[in-house]
Amino acid sequence: MSIDIPWARDELAQFLKLTELYRQPDPPGVFSISSHLSNRGKQSEIAASAHVVERILDRVLPRWRTEVPADHNKSVNRWYQHREAAQRADAALQRDAEVRDRLGDDAPQLSAATMHPWVWSGARSLWQSGHFREAVTAAAKKVNAETQNKVGRRDASETALFQSVFSKDDPKPGQPRLRLRPDDGSDTFRSAQRGAAAFAEGCFAGIRNPNSHEDGLPELPENEALEQLAAFSVLARWVDAASLAT
């Protein structure tokens, strides 16, 4: 689902208004030289707004927690990092489409947050801290675990598991199958099952295993890691949508 840009920008604007710093006026007849600044909104209002804004920031600027500088003097401005991230996110929401158009790159954008929930929930925390290779590995583990849950098996995993569940053979005791389409004995059915098994093997043998078992590999570029996440998202959708044959 694409982001509702007007709604997101309104939420960011409200948060920026609540967290604006100002010096409270002195009471009548009192003159103070204090430099203490306060947020315009109540802390309870800011906290409630921040709960929503953090979700928006995670979607628009996935690594805002590590890439946007934080004010080390929290007593002066507790919400400094959130405010700067909100300002950047608002600019991105407002002008990204314009920038892509002006630079001649209006190709569709792929977002990890729109991938299958198994994939993004597994990868989210590592992705946001810039650990892209580990994030892909975590997503692969999550897809494997959810597939085990669906078929009720713990005796097989990864390539062996998917070869079994996508097998064209009839199910056996302890070996249920996942059917991408009704088993009508057609070439289309057999092709779909064979392709799913081969694709799953490619995901685990070609992506998950090298990422996990080869020491000293450089960090994956973000765009390559995103492509690898997308592969596991395709596999996750197939598994999630497949019917269980026992």
Tens digits of residue pLDDT in 214-241: 677 788 999 999 999 999 999 999 999 9
- β-strand 177-179 against 38-39: which pairing, if any? unpaired
Residue 107 counted as domain residue: no
Give tens-digit pLDDT for 45-85: 999 999 999 999 988 888 898 888 887 666 667 898 999 99
97 in the same domain as 148: no
pLDDT at 32 over 80: no
Residue 61 lies in a domain: yes
Q: What is the pTM of this model?
A: 0.66
Residues of the domain holding 34: 5-102
Residues 46 and 117 in one domain: no
pLDDT-above-90 percentage for the chain:
62
Q: Which of 102, 122, 149 is the last residue of a domain?
A: 102
Question: What's the total number of domains in the chain?
Answer: 2
**Is residue 176 situated within a structural domain?**
yes
User: Are 122 and 89 found together in one domain?
Assistant: no
